[in-house]
């Protein structure tokens, strides 16, 4: 019976096996800063806005649901909202008053 030559990538002799590199660095991930986390958007609508925490269910679909910290500008009928990512929405004032968790109001 004839023996076949062993391919070089299957040879497991001491000379052919590469050793793993020591001291590999771990990758450090840094989250990007959100555009409206520190201050409200620069627009006429949000001039003098306040930061409050509200608990949304399905009232403002553009912002999402759950407990959210948003910038709000209260008007006579509507409350304009903006989250840290810049998603905007509006709610009626009577609905907004029932949703506030923390804030000045």
CA distance 84 to 88: 10
Q: Would residue 62 count as lying in a domain? A: yes
Kindly state the average pLDDT of the residues 80-97: 96
State the pLDDT at residue 1: 74
Quickly state the pLDDT bin for 6 (edges 50, 70, 90).
confident
Q: Would residue 10 count as lying in a domain? A: no
Instruction: Look at the pTM and tell me if it is higher than 0.75.
Output: no
Q: Would residue 22 count as lying in a domain? A: no
Burial class (CB in 10 A: 0-12, 13-18, 19+), 75: exposed
**Segment among 30-39, 50-59, 62-71, 96-105 with least mean pLDDT:** 96-105
Q: Would residue 19 count as lying in a domain? A: no
Q: Would residue 7 count as lying in a domain? A: no
Q: Would residue 65 count as lying in a domain? A: yes
Answer yes or no: are the C-beta atoms of 103 and 69 closer than 8 Å. no
Number of structural domains in the chain:
1
The average confidence (pLDDT) of the chain is 88
State the pLDDT at residue 70: 95
- C-alpha triplet 98, 47, 89: angle, nearest 5°: 45
State the pLDDT at residue 2: 84
- C-alpha triplet 97, 38, 34: angle, nearest 5°: 100
Quickly state the pLDDT bin for 12 (edges 50, 70, 90).
confident
Structural domain boundaries enclosing 89: 32-102
Q: Would residue 12 count as lying in a domain? A: no
Kindly state the average pLDDT of the residues 73-92: 96
């Amino acid at each position: 019976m004839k023996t076949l030559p062993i391919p070089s990538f299957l040879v497991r002799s001491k000379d052919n096996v590469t050793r793993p590199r020591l001291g590999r660095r771990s990758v450090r991930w840094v989250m990007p800063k959100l555009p409206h986390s520190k201050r409200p958007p620069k627009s006429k609508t949000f001039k003098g806005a306040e930061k409050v925490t509200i608990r949304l269910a399905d009232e403002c679909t553009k912002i999402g649901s759950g407990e959210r910290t948003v910038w709000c500008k209260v008007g006579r009928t509507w409350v304009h909202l903006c989250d840290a990512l810049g998603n905007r929405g509006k709610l009626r004032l009577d609905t907004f008053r029932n949703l506030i968790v923390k804030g000045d109001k």
